[in-house]
Structure 1
Amino acid sequence: MRSALRMGMTLTVISLLFLAFNLVWLNKLPDIRWDFSQQKIHTLSPSTQQLLATLESPLDLYYFNSLTAPKKSRSVKRFGQRVEDLLQEFEAAANGMINLHIIDPAPFSEDAYKASLFGLDDTHGFLGLIGTRAGQGMQRIDAFNPVDEPLLEYQISQLIYRLMHPQPSSVALLSGLPLNESASQLMEQMRGHFNLTELASNISRVPASIGSLMVVQPRALAEQALYAIEQFVFRGGKLMIFIDPVSEMGSEAVSVDSKLDDMLTAWGIRIPANKLLVDSLYASSATLGPGMPTVLHPARLKLPRQAMNAHDISTWKLNSLSVSSSGALLRTRKNRTTFTPLLQSSRQSALLDAERFASATQFDALIDEASTSGQRQVIAARLEGPAYSTFPDGFSGQPPGLQKAARIEVVVVADTDLLADAVSQATANNNIQFVLNTLDNLAAPASLANIRPHITSRSFTTLEPMREAAAQAYREKAAELERRLERTEQAWQRLNPKATGLATQVVDTNTQLQALNKERLRLPMELHALKAQAYAPLNRFERNIKLLMIATVPLMLCLIAWLRYRCLRRRRCSPVAYS
């Protein structure tokens, strides 16, 4: 009896001490957290911490996350928790300068009304962020996307930076093409997004006040402008440059002694002259002129998300890009710069002579030739690293400038036509957003631009060659059917009678038209069957992998249970020895 009483008193005292410790001392202990992830995805980078250290006035962040939204999947809900955890890291690292408000807006509530009023996306339930600062305008992220998880830290840091510096960034433009005429939409967006300064094409020095520069078709610029561009980059300026072997936006006046190729070589790359990129997988339809039929153009490419570097801020929120008559970036043998591809072709691509595109009748042969290449080409890339000058003696009697740079930051795009209205308006694409994203990143301060993506998982690289092999097998068999379908559509458009009145149409029993209608129905069905056949091995392999991953744990548990059962049965059945 006494022992039971003593034990009860001991447990009571221990419980009281534990409760007192939690109430009094737990809040005084330091907040210690460990990040065991390989890429440290739960830890803010030093650049972000440097950015937060510069906060001079408090900010309010309102995180709207609809936890009970019926359209929100489990993976998105887990991602929403990941966003919340990272926002709490921002709040803790800001030393009281960030006030985080986590809101779960119920349907038809006042919080949901405010979120909609502020422009947050409610397509699959709210998952957005609003930032406010006293005396300044609001900044927002309409909706966080799990696809952009590697850039999550950059997105939040960019919103905080814009709250601190609401004025637009300054960007200069130096163009050898008439962008105000052929790329009016881009120019309008750039003027609204940046403090844009347009430089003269014969400039001899980029003003020291400019930190970011966009250059379009330097082949049409004078050599003194090339010298100004090089010295600007060597002084620490950041550059986005568009170079096209054959530009469709205007005639080019190329200097005979142009040193552009030498300058690119000093940066570790080269762009083959008069070579156009053909891609049989990404080729899209185009009209060669007014009144002419639509054809499958081998050099008019529509790049999907798979053709982009998903871990670079330049491709943030992009789904597709359109390029036309583009070239390709090749690395030189002796290069010292870091070469990071941003846009790439498929493996069914090749560089072909520009003269071969003179006649549309050769397009089918060009597509067939490109489909057997098996090598990806780089259309846009980011260059970082040391470089040397191609003007060791200066220019035009001026004293020599900087001869080398320890680190340059340049984004090179082997196409100018993606800027043109004719290309950006032809199909739905994100060409303008690609330019704005890249210039935004280049114009950002080091504390923001140096934030690198956190790659949370490794892709299953075994499937990538299988996907490409399936795509190539499909394209090889489907190319002829697609061309037949294209010709059938054109013939049907010519023979199909036009509407004669409101909601009326002449019924034509023409035998040829009926045959074309049958072809228009049959060919898509054959293409669908070919695609299913080409991707069948890949789908079967993926299904088997999923079944294996799903069945592994139950099978292991069953095996353990069976072994346990056998062990217990042996013990029960073993004879008992009597002395």
Structure 2
Amino acid sequence: MMKQLFRLENRRGLIAVILLFILINLLAAVSLRTARLDLTEQKLHTLTEGTRNILHNLDKPLTLQFYWSKQVGNDLPGLKIYADRVLDLLNEYALHADGKLILETVDPEPFSDAEDDAVKYGLQGVPVDGRSGQTLYFGLVGKSDDGTSKTIPFFQPERESFLEYDVSELVTTLATPQKIVLGLLSALDMDGRNGANPFAPSEPWMIVDQLQQRFDLRPLDRESVSIPDEVTVLMVVYPEGLDDSTLYAIDQFVLRGGRLLLFADPLSETLRGQAPQGAPEENPTLVRLLKTWGVELHPDAIAGDPQLAQRVQVSGGLRPQVMEYLPWMALQQEQFNPDEVVTSQLGQINLACAGVLTPLDDAKTDFVPLISTSEAAGIISRPLLSYGANPAQLLADHHPGGKPLTLAARLSGPTESAFDAAPALPEGVEGQRDAHLVKAQDDIQVVIVSDADLLEDRFWVQVNNFFGQRLAVPTAANADFAINVIEQLGGNSDLISVRSRGSAARPFELVSEIRRRAEQQYRVKEQELTRNLQQTEAKLNELQRQRQDAASATLTPEQEKEVQKFVDEKVKTRKKLREVQYGLRHEIDDLNAMLKLFNIAFMPMFISLVAFVAWLIRRSRGRSFSL
């Protein structure tokens, strides 16, 4: 009787467990639909707060079509893993969009309508096998209900750390497809008008043409007393030449939430070409404005870096010489912040007499360097360059500072006005300003570059005339940098907050360290062998010179002995080199064997042990219940 009751209770308990399991799964499917447990070090599978805000604020439905050639891509394991990562991320976007984002997966098979659509939307097809004609598509097409579309032509694995930003930027552009309204305010004659001689106009700077093609460009007068409300991003070039009234307009624009790209310059090469003394000594109001934002640009400090210096031709002496000119720098990828979208994949940027940006200790804003020098850089006093300088003397007097100097930086955070009140309107100007803002309504978004000359044609582009049309052949990425910053500042605050997320690829650091150590030992042995060879050749030459019949090609006994000694040493050294290489392979093989043992044997043994312990616990409970 007791056994029957026990069996009945067991059956009821089993049914109850099954029903509870089904109920938990149903509840989880409804209430825990977006719940995730991300155990990666950099939270690679968790959307940032900025992206979640973008998705939450969508006011119209969007469709994302993920194009992936399955048949071709599955044969490329490395790319297949990355494709799975992209698809997982897109699914996260769909889950957090509250039904306003529809995700579709498209397999563009050869000669299909899907492949025709991929070509129509501008996706990049990559030939995988030239003989079979197989093409791989791996991109994204975003569509809105008004017919607007935007694409990511191909998901480059090199941009994995910016994957979330690229997708969020696509979604933001579809949600707000209007062009960025860019205000351009410059104290330099960028538009071709010659302020000194209006009867001798010149061609506009090529950067102006580039900006007109990409944005809704609104040139502003250099004596502007206010910035129009419709301006999203304000680009100011050479603010040192602006008066207090215009600087006040910039101050108020930033405080009310406007985005600013500022190209300051302690020594303008453009103006120096027009007047030997170059720029004005100092603009106190600009200095005060920058300090209010938490940054200092010293008017007498110019950055110089022998590792980045451009080579220029110097006349004088018996003949012209080519040497490094410290203030003119050609910056490469190593000088760009790899964690910032605007600088992550830039080419070379040329700067001329750039200043040095320094964050203030009591600043309330965050200071993020975008472009920096190498540690070999130092400070050059501005007066040494105002009337020309001797490049050789600059090199001789250079003293490295031992740390990188910041040349461009992003500022964000709370701030106040640099003015106690609005300055009086310039004489002859009528109008009324808006109410004076004392502090920022929200965190400011400002990017400061310590050089304005980088926008001038001669430092980044070669302009050719083709049947009356100006054709630009870029020689540096100066314009790309400016456009990248404007596009990011023109996005909403949530998009700006999306930063690089790192890569899902995890290198075998221990293996890399073993290989690096072995290669170092190999290089030491190789250098030793090279030195022995040079010493032997020197001894042979010396013995040959001491012979009376120096022209004879026959070796003397002393020379033969020296050669044999070197041959023996060479064999011994080569043997040591092989031992180093063998030790490298042996150490890596041992590590590989240990990892295989852990994966193949340890984990199954651990699971078996857990199961055995669980069986013992159940058995002991069963005995106590039967008693």
- Tell me the TM-score normalized by structure 1: 0.70
Compared CA separation, residues 212 and 547, structure 1 to 2 (3 A):
farther
Pairing of 1:286-435 with structure 2 (within 5 A): 286=312, 295-356=323-384, 362-364=390-392, 366-367=394-395, 372-396=400-424, 401-405=436-440, 407-425=443-461, 428-435=475-482
Shift of 1:544: 9.9
Where do residues 15-94 of structure 1 align in structure 2 (5 Å cutoff)?
30-31=32-33, 32-67=35-70, 74-94=77-97
Aligned CA distance change for structure 1 residues 65 and 323 (closer, same or farther; 3 Å): farther
Aligned-pair distance for 1:377? 0.7
Query: How has the CA–CA distance of structure 1 residues 133 and 544 changed in structure 2, closer, same or farther, with 3 Å as cutoff?
Result: farther
| Matching residue within 288, 296, 305 for 1:270 | 296
* Closer, same or farther: CA 260–66 of 1 in aligned 2, 3 Å: same
Three-state SS of the structure 2 residue aligned to 1:179 is: coil
SS in 2 for 1:323: strand
Letter in 2 for 1:413: V
Q: CA deviation at 1:436?
A: 1.5
Distance 1:374 1:150 in 2: 30
- Establish whether residue 454 from structure 1 lines up as the match of residue 489 from structure 2: no
Residue 494 of structure 1: aligned partner: none
Could you tell which deviates more after superposition, 279-288 or 231-240?
279-288
Query: 2 CA distance for matches of 1:146 and 1:368?
Result: 45
Aligned-pair CA distance for 1:393 = 4.1
> Cα gap change, 1:374/1:551 in structure 2, threshold over 3 Å: closer, same or farther?
farther
CA contact (8 A) 2:240 2:283 kept: no
Shift, 1:115, TM fit: 2.7
Which residue number in structure 1 is paired with residue 173 of structure 2? 162
- 1:488-503 to 2 correspondences below 5 Å: none
Q: Is the 8 A contact 1:286 1:300 kept in 2?
A: no
Structure 2 CA distance for partners of 1:449 and 1:545, relative to 1, 3 Å: farther
Following superposition, the deviation at residue 283 of structure 1 comes to 2.4
Letter in 1 for 2:268: S
| Structure 1 residues 256 and 134, CA gap change in structure 2 (3 angstroms) | closer
Q: Which residue of 2 aligns with 1:192?
A: 213
| Superposed CA offset, 1:486-528 (max 9, x none) | xxxxxxxxxxxxxxxxxxxxxxxxxxxxxxxxxxxxxxxxxxx
Paired with 1:377 and 1:435, the residues of 2 have a C-alpha distance of: 20
TM-score (norm 2): 0.65
For the 8 Å contact 1:357–1:363, the answer to whether it is kept is: no
Name stretches of at least 5 consecutive residues in structure 2 with no aligned partner: 1-6, 128-135, 193-202, 273-277, 426-432, 463-473, 521-579, 603-627
Deviates more, 1:312-321 or 1:162-171: 312-321
What is the match of residue 205 of structure 1?
226
Deviation at 1:49, TM superposition (A): 2.5
Judge conservation of contact 2:370–2:410 (CA < 8 Å) in 1. Answer: yes
Residues 453-492 of structure 1 correspond to what in structure 2 (within 5 A)? 453-456=500-503
Q: CA deviation at 1:196?
A: 1.7
Deviation string 1:218-260 (CA, Å, 9 cap, x unpaired) is 0011111111111221222221101011122235664876411
Match of 1:439 in 2: 486
- In the alignment, the residues of structure 1 paired with residue 27 and residue 394 of structure 2 have an alpha-carbon distance, to the nearest angstrom, of 72
| SS of the residue 2:368 aligns to | strand
For residues 449-474 of structure 1, the C-alpha deviation after alignment (integer angstroms, 9 at most, x for no partner) is 333432457998x99xx9xxx9xxxx
Task: Give the letter for the 1:443 counterpart.
Answer: G
Cα distance between partner residues in 1 of 2:396 and 2:601: 59
Asked if 1:129 is matched to 2:150, the reply is no
Residue 193 to residue 561, structure 1, CA distance change in 2 (3 Å):
closer
**How many Å separate the matches in 1 of 2:172 and 2:154?**
18
Residue 554 of structure 1 is matched in structure 2 by 593
Looking at structure 2, the residues matched to 264 and 112 of structure 1 have their Cα atoms a distance apart, in angstroms, of: 53
Checking the alignment, whether the CA contact within 8 Å between 2:372 and 2:405 is kept in structure 1 is yes
Helix, strand or coil at the partner of 1:231:
helix
Match of 1:220 in 2: 241
